[in-house]
Amino acid sequence: MRDETGHPGVGRVLVVIPTYNEADNLTWIVSRVRQAVPSVDILVADDNSPDGTGAVAEELAGQDRRVHVLHREGKQGLGAAYLAGFGWARRRGYDAVVEMDADGSHAPEDLPAMLTAAQDADVVIGSRWTSGARVLNWPLRRLLLSRCGNLYARLALGMPVSDATGGYRVYRLSALDALDLESVCSQGYSFQVELSRLAHRAGVRIVEVPITFAERERGRSKMSPLIVAEALWRITGWAVADRRLALRRGIHSTPTGQVRWP
Ligand SMILES: Nc1nc2c(ncn2[C@@H]2O[C@H](COP(=O)(O)OP(=O)(O)OP(=O)(O)O)[C@@H](O)[C@H]2O)c(=O)[nH]1
Ligand SMILES: [Mg+2]
């Protein structure tokens, strides 16, 4: 049974929603979260969006004491917004944080199942590429990009994760404490891969839950060739560093060179 102050077996939960120019989406996504999981709090982390998303967030916070706003100076990327949100949650004693996009791609209706999975996990990844998941209205080039990106990340980094680039997640704060977040350098998509890698190396329990992912209907994607390029070169860099470390330490690696973290 859900209580008013958190999710059973998980504790106090903060849903962090990073926003940049999502004024047309924010009210809709926040109301869906409130309806799907009334016991969670919400933090909108806005990078001073020119379209007035910050003001929309303030209005929502004024109507609902469970909605909060973190105003940031300017566009600094998804990774920086999430790290700021994690810090905000830690300072206020939350037990778990949820990463969720504002554009409706991450259905709040999937969150109860993800929180239930978090009862027995440290990190829950809402996966687009596991049995039972659905991806709606994505053009072929986006499907291919995601599939190929995930295949590359999985092979290069040796992570048993089907959706390492996916951005719909639950992290227990205790698990984030076990990761070296100070070392995180990603701006865009690769932030999700970087955290997957850190979690895998730290040996925390990672579970994937199938989600229904839908292409955004309103507003514009912030995805760019630069973000894809960043993911590619960072994954390649990590893979090379992992193999060098494995060689130096003489620790196990697979025939394709992937490191098996002890
Ligand atoms: N605070 C903040 N939020 C951002 C920034 N860039 C993107 N976001 C938000 O991060 C979420 C994901 O961004 P999207 O533009 O949907 O990018 P995406 O989901 O990776 O790409 P699409 O699949 O094309 O939608 C959305 O809620 C954005 O508003 C940023 O620099 N700062
Ligand atoms: Mg999106």
| 5, two tokens | 């102050």
Q: How many helices (H) and strands (E) does the chain have?
A: 8, 9
User: Which atom number of ligand 1 is nearest to the Cα of residue 216?
Assistant: 25
**Could you tell me the pTM of the whole model?**
0.93
Q: What is the rounded CA–CA span in Å between residue 131 and residue 129?
A: 7
Closest ligand to the CA of 220: 1
What was the pLDDT predicted at 188?
80
Q: Answer yes or no: is the C-beta of 24 below 6 A from any ligand 1 atom.
A: no
Q: What is the rounded CA–CA span in Å between residue 203 and residue 239?
A: 18
Q: Does residue 137 come out as left (phi exceeding 0), alpha (psi in the -120 to 50 range) or beta?
A: left
Per-residue confidence band for 1, with pLDDT thresholds at 50, 70 and 90: very low
Q: What is the mean pLDDT of residues 94-99?
A: 98
Q: Which of 16-25, 38-47, 219-228 has the lowest mean pLDDT?
A: 219-228
pLDDT for 2 beyond 50: no
- Measured at the alpha carbon of residue 41, what is the angle toward residues 36 and 43, in degrees to the nearest 5? 110
| 243, two tokens | 């193999």
211 touches 132 (CB < 8 A) = no
Q: Answer yes or no: is the C-beta of 138 below 6 A from any ligand 1 atom.
A: no
pLDDT digits (tens, 9 = 90+) for 117-167: 999 999 999 999 999 999 999 999 999 999 999 999 999 999 999 999 999
Q: Answer yes or no: is the C-beta of 75 below 6 A from any ligand 1 atom.
A: yes
179 touches 199 (CB < 8 A) = yes
- Residue 85 CA, ligand 2 centroid: distance in Å: 18
- Residue 50 CA, ligand 1 centroid: distance in Å: 14
Closest by CA to 126, choosing from 112, 138, 140, is 112
Q: What is the rounded CA–CA span in Å between residue 163 and residue 147?
A: 9
Interaxial angle between packed helices 26-36 and 53-63, expressed in degrees from 0 to 180 and rounded to the nearest 10: 30
Closest ligand to the CA of 165: 1
What was the pLDDT predicted at 204?
95
